[in-house]
Amino acid sequence: MDYTLRENEIMEDSERKQVVVFELADEEYAVDITQSKQIIKVSKITPVPNTPAYVRGVINLRGQIVPVVDLRKRFGINSGTGEKERIITIEYEDMLIGLLVDDIKEVLWYDTEKELESAPEIDTAVRQDYIKGVIKKGKRLIVLIDLEKLLFENRPVSA
Amino acid sequence: MDNREQYLQMFFDESAEYLQQLNENVLLLEENPDDEEIINAVFRAAHSVKGMSATMGYERLTDLTHRIENILAKVRNKELQINEHIIDTLFSGLDYIKTLLDDIRANGEEVTDVSTYLRKLEEILENGGVIQEPVGADRKAKAGQQDFNAMLTLTEEEKEEIYNKMTGDESVYNIKVILAQDCLLKNVRGYMILKKAQELGYLAKSNPDQREIEDEDFGDSIYIKLVSSLKEKQINQEFADIIDVAEVIIHKEDKQAKVVKEIEKEEKKIQVDNNKKLREGLSNIQVSPTVRVDIKKLDNLMNMVGELLINKTRLEGLNIQSDVYQDIIQQLDRVTQDLHHIVMQIRMVPIGGIFNRFPRMVRDLSKELNKEIDLVIEGADTELDRSLIDELGDPLMHILRNSIDHGIETPEVRKEKGKSPAGTILLRAYQKGSEIIIEVEDDGAGIDTDRVVEKAIQKGVITADDARQMEERDKLNLIFQPGFSTSEEVTDISGRGVGMDVVRNVVEALDGQVFVESELDVGTRFTISLPLTLAITQALMVVINNEVYAIPLSSISETLLISPDEIMQVRGQDVILLRENTIPLVEAARQLNLPVEYGKYKEYEEIPVVIIKSAERLVGLIVDELLNQQEIVIKSLGKYLINIKNISGATIVGDGDVALILDVRNIA
């Protein structure tokens, strides 16, 4: 299955924002939906030598070569690869990059004022720098990822 | 073709393009006199022509475009309102530009005298194009003049008539005779006025004309254009003496009639010439029609051809035993190859597009540094892929700046060394096989490798131990290391040598290579080699650690299957002997840092080896399996994965999987 997130789902208003929620080692994480393009099932990923371990490789997405970043490895989380593994492609400054995650949970709205807390109060497996904040939905805690820092701090370049 | 001619051709091409733009935009301006975008477009184009003309040393063109630019600047600053007169003047200015260009093309220099036209432009600048409200006594005459232009418009025949009637000492007068309000028998008075005019000189035109006057079909003014040798005052008196004439406004045309005659004649000649040229131009256009296309569309087209190729490869993979199938495959193969070839051709542009920026830069910089430098350009018509052209400008600029700044010595130093005071920088492009070579060569001081090494150690790029083991070539290549400097003096031209590493990065990102050769006091040569096209190439497919990789055929010398006993050891390095050449063996898996056990190939019966050309020497690359040879579509790994060691890109193979393209140039 391969579905593209429809344009009209990407609506935003001043206080409510939408995110794509996914799972990494039984914890819930999210990225801003405006940055995500589509969710695809994992097919063959061609490994790229001389890149950091968290770069799983590249895939062919309709003729375009898209690098895939393994978020578990990026965060240093150890967990097996499961059946439900998916790639969320995100677009950032004209670049299309795939994020490999354990499972896609849902797309949800949150209130930027009432439901978002700053990161330091929460204890997660992920380095604080990569966290924009934590979305609180009742008892659920969803870690909102700072894609820019995650992807471009120490971007993988072999010398 | 010598240099000058090459620049000239570029100059002609570009100025023709700008002239076309100017013509189009002035036309638009006429319709939308207040549109700032159009004004700016005209201004920019004029500015560009001015810049080019100045660079080429054509003073009249420079002067002309400069003044046109001035007018446009005033328009832009709202100090001048576009009117018909300005538009006309601009257009005839464009004609003059064209005439001058034609002069240069035909005679190698500007022939046509434009000084009278320049004065015309000055007039616009001075009085603002619109006739300003004059002050005091002058006012009526001036106001009259405005009327005259409208009331006494001459046809070509009438103008011709005036010239023919005129002798040297005559002037053209515009006269407005105003009859008294209570004048009776206006037709009679009018008749008398015309009759008087005929007595005083040659009556070129009157408004109302004779018939209208007879019919009394006019107001209370009569306009007359008179050619006469009499003085203004006398004419005035003559008319004022007629009964019922209330006022006479008389205005002598500014220039001597003779001059007017010449100017007008010249203008007519230009017009005729232009018409003739226009017709010639039209027939030229029909010979080779061209279309401008957005480069993105060509990129898309190239991608589509790539997709087609991939699917053709997949189709071939089916390998059906059928004549029809084989036939279709062959046809498809031919069509895709032709298509690819055509698209490639379309994308090719002459490198002159970037070379022509440099003469001016070299001139300015050498002046600034008190050096004498001749820039010699060769092969500006060498074509390469458009996408390469865009990227090459900066690296070339940097190498040139380095040559000017660090390479060429001052005239005094050169004389001491027994060289000619003027240094020469040679910028040359040519095609060599499937590569484009660009060289920047100077006859300057050369690069002192001892100093390079010294600095490299000082900067911590290498250790003294490293240096002792380095070959001369490797020492020279240190200049491509990040943050390297050789110039004692820090100038704002090439800074602290910052950029040679950037040059290398850019060139390598384009799948090219950059070398440097240098000899002390003789000179330095930088050589950039680039693939002719980026998009599609022939490659050998190999397997390394269960993954398929593509190696471009351009870097392969041959392939071999060797047995382990052919492998010999030289100074701890595995080598093979191939036609008396000792070729070092390297293991692909190790080069790629793959997580496998190295050296296992020695256990194989047959070892597949790809002999590759790496930095001008041969290296045997050990792979796991040799597959087929095929055309591949080169795709970038994208901006996220940049500068990955030994990987230059990726391609999509028949089954839709991604195969990486090996960059073997730096494999040692």
What are A75-94's pLDDT values in tens digits?
877 766 667 788 999 888 77
Task: State the average pLDDT over residues B353-362.
Answer: 81
Selected residue with higher pLDDT from B624 and B300: B624
pLDDT of residue B244: 78
What does CATH list as the number for B536-666? Answer: 2.40.50.180
Residue A44 within any structural domain of the chain: yes
pLDDT of residue A156: 53
Contact B643 A157 (CB under 8 A): yes
Degrees, nearest 5: CA angle B629-B631-B633: 135
Over residues B69-103, the pLDDT tens digits come to 888 888 888 788 888 788 888 888 888 888 888 88
Residue with tokens 């000492």: B169
Query: How many percent of chain A have pLDDT more than 90?
Result: 12
Q: Give the closest of A50, A64, A94 to B647, CB-based.
A: A50
**Is B306 touching A (CB cutoff 8 A)?**
yes
Task: Name the pLDDT band for B284 (thresholds 50, 70, 90).
Answer: very low
Task: Examine the pLDDT at B143 and tell me if it is beyond 60.
Answer: no
Which is catalytic among the residues B402, B409, B587, B631? B402
What does CATH list as the number for B138-254? Answer: 3.30.70.1110
Which is catalytic among the residues B69, B170, B409, B441? B69
Residue of chain A whose Cα is closest to the Cα of B547: A46
How many independent structural domains does chain A possess?
1
Which chain A residues have a beta carbon less than 8 Å from that of B300? none
Is ipTM > 0.85 here? no
Query: How many percent of chain B have pLDDT more than 90?
Result: 10
Residue A11 within any structural domain of the chain: no
- What domain range includes position A114? 17-152
Task: Name the pLDDT band for A9 (thresholds 50, 70, 90).
Answer: very low
Residue of chain A whose Cα is closest to the Cα of B656: A60
H or E stretch including B279? Answer: helix B257-287
Q: What's the CA gap between B99 and B97, in Å, rounded?
A: 5
CB B476 within 8 A of CB B520: no
Please confirm, yes or no, whether B370 is among the known catalytic residues.
no
Please confirm, yes or no, whether B47 is among the known catalytic residues.
yes
Selected residue with higher pLDDT from B524 and B164: B524
Task: State the average pLDDT over residues B100-107.
Answer: 84
Where in chain B are all domains bearing CATH 1.10.287.560? 295-350
Which chain A residues have a beta carbon less than 8 Å from that of B636? 65
Least reliable range by pLDDT among B123-132, B194-203, B289-298? B123-132
Residue A10 within any structural domain of the chain: no
Least reliable range by pLDDT among A75-89, A110-124, B528-542? A110-124
Residue of chain B whose Cα is closest to the Cα of A59: B658
Q: Give the closest of B644, B645, B658 to A46, CB-based.
A: B658
Query: How many percent of chain A have pLDDT more than 70?
Result: 77
Contact A49 B652 (CB under 8 A): no
Residue A144 within any structural domain of the chain: yes
Mean pLDDT (chain B) is 79
What does CATH list as the number for B3-127? Answer: 1.20.120.160
Task: Name the pLDDT band for B283 (thresholds 50, 70, 90).
Answer: very low
Q: What's the CA gap between B48 and B41, in Å, rounded?
A: 11
Q: What's the CA gap between B189 and B512, in Å, rounded?
A: 90
Over residues B637-667, the pLDDT tens digits come to 877 887 788 888 899 887 778 999 998 877 7
Contact B643 A158 (CB under 8 A): yes
- Whether cis (ω within 30° of 0) applies to the bond prior to B208 is yes
CATH number at residue A31: 2.40.50.180
Residue A102 within any structural domain of the chain: yes
Comparing C-alpha atoms, which of B218, B207, B204 is closest to residue B173?
B204
Q: What's the CA gap between A31 and A71, in Å, rounded?
A: 12
Over residues B258-277, the pLDDT tens digits come to 445 555 555 555 555 555 54
Which backbone phi and psi does B647 adopt, to 5 degrees?
Answer: -120, 125
Q: Give the closest of B635, B642, B646 to A65, CB-based.
A: B635
Residue A148 within any structural domain of the chain: yes
Where in chain B are all domains bearing CATH 1.20.120.160? 3-127
Task: Examine the pLDDT at B362 and tell me if it is beyond 70.
Answer: yes
Residue A42 within any structural domain of the chain: yes
Please confirm, yes or no, whether B402 is among the known catalytic residues.
yes
Task: Examine the pLDDT at B602 and tell me if it is beyond 50.
Answer: yes
**Topology of the domain covering B352-531:** Heat Shock Protein 90 (3.30.565)
Comparing C-alpha atoms, which of B658, B60, B636, B638 is closest to residue B302?
B636
pLDDT of residue B443: 92
Which is catalytic among the residues B47, B214, B232, B566? B47
Q: What is the DSSP string of B529-585?
A: EEES-SSEEEEEEEEETTEEEEEEGGGEEEEEEE-GGG-EEETTEEEEEETTEEEEE
Residues 6+ apart with CB under 8 A from B229: B167, B169, B170, B171, B201
**Is B285 touching A (CB cutoff 8 A)?**
no
Residue of chain B whose Cα is closest to the Cα of A43: B657
**Is B635 touching A (CB cutoff 8 A)?**
yes
Q: Give the closest of A44, A49, A66 to B657, CB-based.
A: A44
What does CATH list as the number for B295-350? Answer: 1.10.287.560
Residue A12 within any structural domain of the chain: no
Using a cut of 0.80, tell me whether the model's pTM lies above it.
no
